Amino acid sequence: MLHPLRSKAVIIMFGFLLTLGMATVCQAQDSAKLKADKIIYHYEHQMVIAEGNAVISYRDLSVRADYIYLAVKENQMEAIGNLKITRGDEEYSGERLSYNLKEDHGYVEPLNLEIKNGDNGVLLGKGRQVELKGDTTIVRHGTLTSCDLERPHFHLKAAEIEYVPEVKLVFRHVYYYEGFMPVFYWPYLYISLKENESNLMTPVVGHDSIKGWFLLLGYQYFHDKMGNGVLHFDLYELLGYGYGVTHTFFNNERTKLETEYYRVENQNTGLGEDKVGVKFEKTIINWPDAGRKWKVSGMVNWIEEYTPLNNLKDNYYFQYSSQNKFTNFELSYNLRYKYLAEQWYSGSSAGGGSNYYDKQHFYINPSLNWRPFPDARLTMQGFWEDYYYKDIPEHNENYYLSLGYTQKIFKHPMDLAVTRSTYERVTLDLKSPDYFKLGWFEKVKWNSQLYRYIPYLDPGSNQEYLEGTRFGFTIDALSSPIYQKGGFSLSLSWWIKERQYWTNKGDGEQFAFSTPLVARQVFFEQKQGNVVEKSLVGELSAGWVEVNEKLPGYKDVVETITGGGDLTYRLTYDSKIFDASFNGGYNLTNQQWNSHYLNLTWLPTPESRINSILRFTPKNHVQKKDTGSVVTSIHYKPTPNHSFQLNHSYYIYAYSENHQTLNFVVDLEQPLGKLWTVKLNTRYDFLDENQRYTTVGLTYNMHCRKLTFTYDTSNELYMLQYTINAFPNVKLGFNSGTGMFWDGVDFWGNKLY
């Protein structure tokens, strides 16, 4: 039965129709909206036909066409004639669309494509067919460019183009064209829109004592079914050349499997040195709702390399780790084993030469976290390792163990930790991990420690050892207001430190406490809403530290606290365009003035700043004369691309000659017409008459591309760089210091040599 309805604008909610075929899949937000001049319902076949200016909206997909056909039961849509499709920042045009709403999958034939590439313009494409698959767009036998001219300056022509918004662009069998001339070809080309990756990896140039000068090259390849990887080809001055492949078979949320093969053709020995490796990572159980997770990972490497005895020897490396997590229990551990053939041993042979033995290393690292009660937590972590040489009875063992327990006592969390290491050093800590309230003090924290000294050699000529035990206790109460009226407030804080020492050099004690008192006066404050726009605030702080010390003669291992009183003061003025502060103090014990500072900041414009800091310290019983400094910086930025900075500093020292600096920094980027842009970055020190650095750049703007030449006068380096505006992170060029480069890539991620 047909029921036609004609209207200039008719909107029908098809949520109730679509749910006939998707009742268990689609939610209310998956309903579709249809608008057309004429809509016909065919109830018998569950078919909807829209004619004339037909528009359907579903999720983030909007389709406009002359005709739209909806098969409700099959969730299938056909759109024909003058097709316009919008999905996110993507726009398509063609003649025919076939799309399954339930599977979020369809095809467009033929295709004109427009993609908004963030702040980097628009990508324009064409193709015989486009496949829409979730967030992924696949163009077959298509072209892509960011040049909007009728005859674009450049374009990429590929058998297949895969686009995932804000993630990646993948081209398969792609040619790069300048005008109508093909310049480059790649079997695969990967441009990451998120992680700055591409097929060609940045060449690495370097030098070391083993390889000499070396050049490391890599090419990334991608395959939907077989995984992806990197082909390596490297040149070494002293060794020869190396080549290999790193391939990832699986890399998803639950499984990762990676293999590596690498070979060095060693020109010194005429032998090939091989390396084979396998990495895996597997999530066996992952039940977030039940708080259960079990994850394992491992790595096995076999390396055949040249040894000092002119033989190829096999080295092995094995690593395995496991993480098992329940609702209130987590256990993880890491195991490592290395076998290294014919490593050098520090002992001497009978003939006075070197000794070579097979070296082995075993390492285990457990970690446990358990919550037996809601307010309690037990933790254990540490490691044990053993280095030893084959056929030699000597071992080098190390270990470290830490056991911790957290428990709330009278609503206050307490941490108890015991640690022990190879040298029999034991430490017992008991502390409050968080601040708690004590009386009118809102934030109080304390900790205590029992520490066992290991035998500690005196660095002096006596060659004496220190052994013994130390007990310490500290409690710290942050500033809390004790009086407040109008703009005046009075705050008090305090701290106590106690140390007891029992050593073979004698017993000792150290006790200290302090009670700083801070008075604060707000002279005036101007607000707009909750934002303070202008204020004048003064502070006066008075504190006294009382110390009682009786220490053993070994000063290097104890903490020394200076007793006495101190007065500090501060006056601060803040506003939108001008800030000023003055602060200083007086030491009551030493009867001398502390350093005084005057800080001035003026903001004539939002982008410009004038700042000056003046420091003055009067002479005292230690210094022979007054000291101080004046540091001033003027930063003027008339436009976002023009910056000028003048820096001046003058220092007055007590025991050496005064010192003064004055330098000028310029940072400019100035267009010269429509095609050229010049950049200048320079710093000149006037007093030293030294040109610290100067970099000059000239950019030729080729509409949709840029060619930049840069010269660094300080290092005498030049660089030529080619950039496509649509992909600013991918830069191809030549640097006189490192050679060819392809910037904006993530390179050598899992390279192990």
The confidence score (pLDDT) of residue 462 equals 55
Looking up tokens 């030729």, which residue turns up?
700
Looking at domain 2-192, its CATH class is mainly beta
Give me the pLDDT at residue 153, please: 86
CA–CA separation, 634 and 600 (whole Å):
12
Residue 489, pLDDT score: 93
* CB neighbour list of residue 352: distance below 8 Å, 6 or more residues apart: none
29/181: higher pLDDT:
181
Domain boundaries along the sequence of the chain: 2-192
Q: Are strands 531-550 and 578-587 parallel, antiparallel or unpaired?
A: unpaired
Given a cut of 90, whether residue 540 has pLDDT beyond it is yes
The predicted-structure confidence for 453-481, as pLDDT tens digits, reads as follows: 666 554 444 556 667 888 888 999 988 88
Per DSSP, the residues of 144-185 read EES--SSS-SEEEEEEEEEEETTTEEEEEEEEEEETTEEEEE
Report d(CA 394, CA 386) in Å as an integer. Answer: 10
Report how far residue 638's alpha carbon sits from residue 646's, in angstroms, rounded to the nearest whole number.
Answer: 14
pLDDT digit string, tens, across residues 498-519: 988 888 777 888 889 998 899 9
- pLDDT confidence band for 698 (50 / 70 / 90): very high
pLDDT for residue 285: 84
Are 611 and 604 a contacting pair, CB within 8 Å? no
Q: Are 209 and 201 in contact (CB under 8 A)?
A: no
Neighbours of 118 (CB within 10 A): 10
Neighbours of 188 (CB within 10 A): 18
Confidence band for 17, pLDDT divided at 50, 70 and 90: very low
Specify the DSSP element, H or E, that contains 335. Answer: strand 329-348
In this predicted structure, what is the pLDDT of residue 629? 94
* Res 699: pLDDT: 92
**What mean pLDDT value characterizes the chain?**
80
How far CA 251 is from CA of 279, 283, 324, 497, in Å, comes to 11, 12, 21, 54
Sequence length of the chain is 753
Q: Which tens digit of pLDDT belongs to each residue from 266-288?
A: 887 777 888 899 988 888 888 77
pTM of the model: 0.52
Q: What residues contact residue 556 under an 8 Å CB cut-off, 6+ apart?
A: 459
The residue-averaged pLDDT of 66-85 equals: 87
Using the structure block, give the residue that is written with the tokens 């499984």.
255
CA distances (Å), 258 to each of 43, 221, 227, 286, 615, in order? 55, 14, 10, 22, 60
Q: What is the CA radius of gyration of the chain?
A: 37
Residue-wise pLDDT for 340-369, tens only, equals: 877 766 665 555 556 777 888 888 988 888
pLDDT of 580? 96
pLDDT over threshold 60, residue 719: yes
User: Is pLDDT of 381 > 70?
Assistant: yes
> Residue for token digits 């030893």?
388
Euclidean distance between CA atoms 471 and 450, whole angstroms: 5
C-alpha 505 chain-centroid distance: 49
Tokens encoding 330: 């987590």
Q: Report d(CA 739, CA 389) in Å as an integer.
A: 44
Q: Write out the DSSP string of 543-606.
A: EEEEEEEE--S-GGGS-----EEEEEEEEEEE-SSEEEEEEEEEETTTTEE--EEEEEEE-SST
| Of 672 and 752, more confident | 672
- Whether the predicted pLDDT of 32 surpasses 90: no
Mapped onto helix, strand or coil, the DSSP state of residue 315 is strand
pLDDT tens per residue, range 560-582: 666 788 899 999 999 989 999 99
Quote the pLDDT of residue 749.
27
Query: 169: which residues sit within 8 A by CB, 6+ positions away?
Result: 144, 161, 162, 163, 190, 191, 193
Sequence-distant (6+) residues with CB within 8 A of 741 are 202, 203, 731, 732, 733, 734, 735
- Residue 697 predicted with pLDDT over 80: yes
The label of the residue with tokens 């041993």 reads 345
Nearest partner of 500 among 465, 464, 466, 474, judged by Cα = 474
How far apart (Å, rounded) are the C-alpha atoms in residues 90 and 116?
Answer: 6
Q: Are 33 and 57 in contact (CB under 8 A)?
A: yes
SS3 state at 617: strand
pLDDT reading at 442 higher than 90: no
Mean pLDDT of 513-532: 90
Q: Mapped to the 3 state alphabet, what secondary structure does 84-117 carry?
A: EEEECCEEEEEEEEEEECCCCEEEEECEEEEEEC
Lowest mean pLDDT among 248-257, 449-458, 614-623: 449-458
Average pLDDT, integer, range 720-730: 78
pLDDT(536) > 90: yes
Average pLDDT value for residue range 669-682: 87
- pLDDT tens digits, residue range 291-326? 788 889 898 888 887 665 556 678 888 888 888 887
Residue 706 token pair: 């840029």
pLDDT computed for residue 539 by the predictor: 95
Q: Are 514 and 531 in contact (CB under 8 A)?
A: no
Is it the case that residue 484 has pLDDT exceeding 70?
yes
Tally of CA atoms within 13 A in the half-sphere of 563 that contains its CB: 10
pLDDT at position 16: 35
Predicted pLDDT of residue 20: 34
Per residue in 211-249, pLDDT (tens digit) is: 778 888 888 777 666 778 888 989 988 888 999 999 988
Q: Residue 290: what are its φ and ψ, rounded to 5°?
A: -95, 0
- Residues 247, 262 contacting (CB under 8 angstroms): no
